[in-house]
């Protein structure tokens, strides 16, 4: 870990605990900062707060005092999920205080370079695929970020010869000031998290943070098939690596039906790639480009691509049951993700969908509903999804109580050769604490069939 001396003797407020807050507080304390942690959970219910107090860190729990910043703090490090409308965060900004997420701290202390992956969809699959290929190629990668491992904790242990493959959300990137990955990736941009960002422009600007500080020694891999992304890419000072799935291109990485091309020349056949779907082809192109730039051997990449069948909860193959193939795509919390999942299959689909009702239209799915032969809907949007399915000509469309119940209806509705697909197009929070818990419930029920 680099000894980042600029934080020594500075008064720093860590707002919100969870895994990232705990890791940030400990590292800041180790770097010589005067750290105060503020969290809404009562002290007696927070083992993390109790442990931090024992280490000499000031802890304020159970409330967020309005005058907290009057203590003379010079920096705020906040949990990414805390919105900028939060009174303490808004007060910090009005006072001109820097407001970071732990990603900025990770960058400042890391001996290793970063590969930063962001976008509306495809981040986790791309991140995991890069990690697996670099690992198979002997590059000693580490994995961190929004994928579940706190980046500053990983950065603390990273060595110069390693690389940190980091999935980055817009929430995390908004809290960066100097973060500068060696390789930045922007997979795509679609409407998302507008309840947090307010506007699409604000959301897209946050995503652009992945390349904002890059220079001519760095690389920016971006989606050349999206004009909005191309517009942002024009502002990047990095070496630009566009990707496209619309056929052979002379620049960057591209693909047609049979071949992946690098700078216009055939590089790799698609015949042995295991992961299905056009959206996954985009993920594969970005991952191959990143690993190629890192000097990874092509044969080592091909070995991974031949066996990599997807990330848990992301068009994950669960099992074959009586001639039906069953997939878990619980991560599909918006229509675009569900559309991508549906478009990955040509066989008839029994679709399990529904969840938290945010008032979004399902119309974006209509062109992809042609091979959906049955729908089992659940959650707050259950009735709306059934009505939408019937308007698309799906005659078998029924409501279930929850995901577990939906599996019991979908099984007898299906026939040999069908796909049974959980791809909700909605967030899980009406019935489940996370999409992971929803997906696990689906898997557990499927395995009992």
> Angle 298-305/278-293 helices, nearest 10 degrees?
150
122 annotated to a ligand binding site: yes
Which are the contacts of 67, defined by CB distance < 8 A and separation ≥ 6?
none
pLDDT of residue 192: 62
Q: Band the pLDDT of 274: cuts 50, 70, 90.
A: confident
Which are the contacts of 234, defined by CB distance < 8 A and separation ≥ 6?
none
pLDDT of residue 148: 66
Query: Is the Cα torsion angle 13, 16, 19, 20 positive or negative in sign?
Result: negative
Distance from chain centroid for Cα 80: 13
Q: State yes or no: pLDDT of 213 exceeds 80.
A: yes
Give 147's DSSP letter: T
pLDDT of residue 81: 86
121 annotated to a ligand binding site: yes
Average pLDDT score over residue span 318-338: 93
Strands 11-15 and 239-244: unpaired
Which are the contacts of 221, defined by CB distance < 8 A and separation ≥ 6?
183, 184, 185, 186, 241, 242, 243, 252, 253, 286, 289, 290
pLDDT of residue 277: 76
pLDDT digits (tens, 9 = 90+) for 153-211: 999 999 999 999 999 999 999 999 999 999 999 999 886 666 676 788 888 999 999 99
pLDDT digits (tens, 9 = 90+) for 388-432: 999 999 999 999 999 999 999 999 999 999 999 999 999 999 999
Tell me the C-alpha distance between 342 and 421, whole Å: 8
Contact 307, 333 (CB under 8 A): no
Question: Which of 88, 11, 24 shows the shortest CA–CA distance to 52?
Answer: 24
149 annotated to a ligand binding site: no
Q: What is the pTM of this model?
A: 0.79
Contact 267, 297 (CB under 8 A): no
Q: Which two tokens stand for residue 38?
A: 């503020």
pLDDT digits (tens, 9 = 90+) for 73-103: 999 999 988 999 999 999 999 999 999 999 9
Contact 89, 78 (CB under 8 A): yes
Q: Band the pLDDT of 373: cuts 50, 70, 90.
A: very high
Contact 185, 293 (CB under 8 A): no
Report H helices in 175-277.
Answer: 194-197, 200-208, 227-233
Q: E strands, 209-264, where?
A: 219-223, 239-244, 253-255, 259-262
Structural domains in the chain, CATH included, are 9-100 (3.40.50.720), 103-305 (3.40.1190.10), 316-447 (3.90.190.20)
Tell me the C-alpha distance between 131 and 137, whole Å: 10
Q: Band the pLDDT of 275: cuts 50, 70, 90.
A: confident
Contact 325, 348 (CB under 8 A): no
Question: Which of 331, 339, 379 shows the shortest CA–CA distance to 358?
Answer: 379
Tell me the C-alpha distance between 169 and 62, whole Å: 27
Query: Is the Cα torsion angle 22, 24, 29, 33 positive or negative in sign?
Result: negative
pLDDT digits (tens, 9 = 90+) for 232-243: 999 999 999 999
Contact 99, 73 (CB under 8 A): no
Average pLDDT score over residue span 376-398: 97
CA-to-CA dists, residue 1 to 156, 291, 299, 362, angstroms: 5, 25, 33, 48
pLDDT of residue 336: 87
125 annotated to a ligand binding site: yes
The neighbour count for residue 191, using CB atoms within 10 Å, is 14
Q: Is 118 helix (H, G, I), strand (E, B) or coil?
A: strand
β-bridge mates for residue 241, sequence order: 221
CA-to-CA dists, residue 29 to 13, 34, 97, 271, angstroms: 11, 7, 19, 52
pLDDT of residue 278: 78
The neighbour count for residue 74, using CB atoms within 10 Å, is 14
Q: E strand or H helix at 375, and its extent?
A: strand 372-378
> Angle 403-413/435-447 helices, nearest 10 degrees?
40
Average pLDDT score over residue span 251-265: 97
317 vs 306, more confident: 306
pLDDT digits (tens, 9 = 90+) for 99-117: 999 999 999 999 999 999 9
Tell me the C-alpha distance between 409 and 402, whole Å: 11
């Amino acid at each position: 870990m680099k000894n980042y001396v600029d934080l020594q003797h500075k008064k720093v407020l860590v707002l919100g605990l969870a895994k990232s807050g705990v890791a940030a507080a400990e590292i800041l304390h180790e770097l010589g900062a005067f750290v105060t942690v503020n969290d809404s959970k009562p002290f007696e219910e927070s083992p993390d707060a109790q442990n931090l107090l024992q280490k000499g860190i000031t802890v304020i729990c159970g409330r967020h005092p309005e005058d907290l910043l009057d203590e003379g703090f010079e920096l705020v490090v906040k949990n990414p999920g805390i919105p900028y409308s939060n009174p303490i965060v808004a007060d910090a900004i009005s006072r001109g205080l820097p407001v970071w997420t732990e990603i900025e701290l990770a960058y400042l202390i890391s001996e290793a370079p970063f590969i930063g992956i962001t976008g509306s969809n495809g981040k986790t699959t791309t991140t995991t695929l890069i990690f697996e290929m670099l690992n198979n190629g002997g590059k000693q990668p580490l994995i961190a970020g929004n994928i579940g491992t706190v980046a500053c904790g990983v950065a603390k242990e990273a060595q110069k010869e390693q690389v940190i493959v980091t999935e980055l959300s817009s929430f995390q990137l908004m809290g960066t000031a100097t973060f500068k990955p060696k390789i930045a990736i922007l997979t795509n941009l679609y409407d998302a998290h507008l309840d947090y960002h307010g506007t699409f422009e604000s959301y897209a600007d946050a995503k652009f943070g992945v390349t904002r500080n890059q220079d001519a020694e760095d690389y920016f891999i971006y989606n050349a098939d999206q004009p909005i992304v191309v517009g942002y890419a024009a502002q990047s000072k990095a070496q630009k690596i566009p990707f496209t799935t619309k056929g052979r291109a002379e620049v960057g990485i591209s693909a047609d039906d049979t071949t992946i091309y690098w700078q216009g020349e055939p590089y790799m056949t698609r015949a042995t790639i295991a992961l299905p779907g056009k959206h996954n082809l985009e993920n594969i192109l970005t991952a191959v480009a990143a690993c190629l730039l890192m000097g990874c051997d092509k044969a080592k990449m091909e070995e991974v691509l031949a066996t990599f069948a997807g990330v848990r909860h992301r068009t994950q193959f669960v099992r074959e049951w009586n001639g039906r193939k069953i997939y878990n795509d619980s991560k599909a919390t918006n229509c675009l993700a569900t559309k991508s999942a549906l478009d990955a299959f040509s066989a008839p689909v029994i679709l399990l969908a529904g969840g938290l009702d945010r008032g979004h239209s399902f119309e974006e799915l209509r062109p992809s509903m042609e091979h959906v032969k049955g729908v089992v809907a659940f959650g707050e949007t259950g009735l709306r999804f059934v009505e939408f399915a019937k308007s698309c000509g799906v005659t078998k469309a029924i409501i279930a109580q929850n995901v577990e119940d939906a599996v019991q209806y979908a099984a007898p509705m299906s026939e040999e050769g069908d796909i049974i697909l959980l791809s909700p197009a909605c967030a899980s929070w009406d019935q489940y604490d996370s999409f992971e818990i929803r997906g696990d419930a689906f898997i557990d029920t499927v395995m009992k069939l």
